Amino acid sequence: MSKRVLTTESGAPVADNQNSATAGVGGPLLLQDQHLLEKLARFNRERIPERVVHARGSGAYGHFEVTDDVTGFTCADFLGTVGKRTEVFLRFSTVADNLGGADAVRDPRGFAVKFYTEEGNYDLVGNNTPVFFVKDPVKFPDFIHSQKRDPFTGKQEPDNVWDFWAHSPEATHQVTWLMGDRGIPASYRHMNGYGSHTYQWTNAEGEAFFVKYHFKTNQGVRSLSSEQAREIAGTDPNSHQTDLLQAIERGVHPSWTLYVQIMPAAEAADYRFNPFDLTKVWPHGDYPLRRVGRLVLDRNPDNVFAEVEQAAFSPNNFVPGIGPSPDKMLQGRLFAYADAHRYRLGVNHTLLAVNAPKATVAQNYGRDGLMASNNQGRAAKNYEPNSYDGPAETGRPLSAPLAVHGHTGTHEAPLHTKDDHFFQAGELYRLMSRDEQSRLVANIAGGLAQVSRDDVVEKNLAHFHAADPSYGDRVAEAVRALRED
């Protein structure tokens, strides 16, 4: 029996639902990819008024202080002087659950930082894991749908969760992270944060470097077992919010040390892993961590709705010296995040106090729209260029240009010498102690054993076998034992 044809909302057949259109193999995404834009734009508008993802969140203000000289790699002003401080707002969140969900659940945690720099706001949007489940944004709405509440049962379904992962072998690395000991942080203070994506830094000479951000918690990493998490979620669903609020109120200010991995742009093409694949890490032996500074949170918001729920982070908010890479997931988020905020909060959400620049003034020709308060007086013009001394372009790009080549189309990501879906997942598994491996296996089996279709179970077991034969064997045995009980 032939499958029904997947179409766009206008009824046109979809040729490729796995790969976004790019400018050549490995190039940046194309605005002409109507299927991708339609899919992301519709996904952003599926829920009101809470966020579609990262709905359950907490946040705090603080500062970032530069401790080490990185001016050889970036001309970003807020990173330009050792000792320089920049005000920040950091929002933590779970990913899949609703606004009223519990904090102590097995789920990635959002780690979004807004730097209020003198050159404009810089938003760094990441998670508490260095990798993610998918590497192409065209698959992101489908992934989230598989993790959210089922349209019929109204609850998260193991069949949906594991069926998607069965058809997405690239998720094996992140699944290993999520189901391991760090899958449920003890608090927001006791977890690391990662930019996860690859970004570009450009120095004053125009040299380009690719970077990955690592925020290492100075409180030490602490996590919860599945049993501890179930008890805490049942007795205090707001456990992470309570912990962060009370720690700051009593003067215990959480902090993180920022490190970066730096890759000269010329080395990207021949690196053994695709450096722009969000499901991969750069081993520290190849690109060691370089310290940059210290982030401290020292002030709670006065109003959670006004400052946490209305906080809008967009990874396309760059400053001079920092820009995007060809990371396809990042490229998709450059559009999707800002579009989600315009839908959810309105086109003038950047005028809200938590989102507005603090160390400089926004000057542009944006006018009107819902909740407009930026009319700028009768003498101001709303077009450019003009003869009335309005703000004008600088002619200086924020970052170095990305090279493109080849033909447009829906390309799979280019393969590098060590690229596959399972190698790094296996490396992570083998780094774990025997006890850590046992808890990982138990966590995976607990969900996989509930799946109703044997073929879905077998596909997932094949992924774990491909990562490491022992990994697959132990998960298979644990699933069998649970199903026989």
Structure-block tokens of residue 8 = 């766009």
Backbone angles phi, psi at 85, to 5 degrees: -115, 140
CA-CA distance, 397 to 319, in Å (whole number)?
A: 10
CA-CA distance, 285 to 292, in Å (whole number)?
A: 18
Catalytic hit among 121, 127, 128, 274? 127
Whether 120 contacts 393, CB under 8 Å:
no
DSSP string, 170-217: GGHHHHHHHHSGGGSBS-STTS-EE--S-EEEE-TT--EEEEEEEEEE
- CA distances, 385 to each of 378, 392, 396 (Å): 18, 7, 17
Q: What kind and span of H or E run contains 5?
A: none
Which residues are CB-contacts of 397 (< 8 A; sequence separation ≥ 6)? 323
CA-CA distance, 79 to 73, in Å (whole number)?
A: 10
Whether 384 contacts 351, CB under 8 Å:
no
Q: 317 an active-site residue?
A: no
* Angle made by CA atoms 229, 232, 236, in degrees to the nearest 5: 140
Nearest CA to 216 out of 124, 106, 297, 291 is that of: 291
Amino acid identity, residue 48? I
Which residues are CB-contacts of 153 (< 8 A; sequence separation ≥ 6)? none
Nearest CA to 326 out of 275, 272, 279, 263 is that of: 275
Catalytic hit among 35, 54, 341, 416? 54
Whether 201 contacts 112, CB under 8 Å:
no
| Start-to-end C-alpha separation, the chain | 37
Q: 63 an active-site residue?
A: no
Q: What is the dihedral of CA 187, 192, 197, 199, to 10 degrees?
A: 130
Amino acid identity, residue 379? A
CA-CA distance, 287 to 121, in Å (whole number)?
A: 28
CA-CA distance, 347 to 345, in Å (whole number)?
A: 7
Which residues are CB-contacts of 409 (< 8 A; sequence separation ≥ 6)? 21, 22
Buried b (16+ CB within 10 A) or exposed e, 291-312: ebbbbbbeebbeeeeebbbbbb
Q: Which residues are identified as catalytic?
A: 54, 127
